[in-house]
Amino acid sequence: QVQLVESGGGLVQTGGSLRLSCAASGRTFSSYCVGWFRQAPGKEREFVSGISWTGTNTAYADSVKGRFTISRDNAKNTAYLQMNSLKPEDTAVYYCAATPTWGRRVAPLYNYWGQGTQVTVSV
């Protein structure tokens, strides 16, 4: 079992920045790839970004490429999502998730999930 807890969400103006954190406990964090997903009201949960076990590989949705940066610190059992140049369309609940396999962009393929953190970007 891996327990994940997100933090860092909040209300920010268009063009602002936030850094989300995903703190893990339980099994060895470095054995899992981490994904960030988001879900806006009335929409499906969508892939935002992913990072491999040691951080060598990263992936981004086209909608956030160049604005968001994913990273991880295995010594702290924490993954991060730095979000810059935020837009109103980035408003959603953001979730971190863990999977033992790299390259997954579909939510059902992730084994463990956090409770989510709300990000709201005002115009």
Residue 1: the pLDDT is 85
Q: Render pLDDT for 50-68 as a digit per residue (tens, 0 to 9).
A: 999 999 999 999 999 999 9
Dmax (CA) of the chain:
41
- Write out pLDDT tens, residues 14-24: 999 999 999 99
Q: Distance between CA 74 and CA 94 in Å, rounded? A: 21
Quick: pLDDT tens for 28-38: 999 999 999 99
Q: Is 34 exposed, middle or buried (0-12, 13-18, 19+ CB in 10 A)?
A: buried
**In one letter, which amino acid is 107?**
A
pLDDT (tens digit per residue) in 76-104: 999 999 999 999 999 999 999 999 999 99
For residues 95 and 39, the answer to whether their CB atoms sit within 8 Å is yes
Output b/e per residue, 71-87; b: 16+ Cβ within 10 A. Answer: ebeeeebbbbbebeebe
Query: What is the pLDDT at residue 26?
Result: 79
Q: With 90 as the cut, is the pLDDT of residue 27 above it?
A: no
pLDDT of residue 6: 98
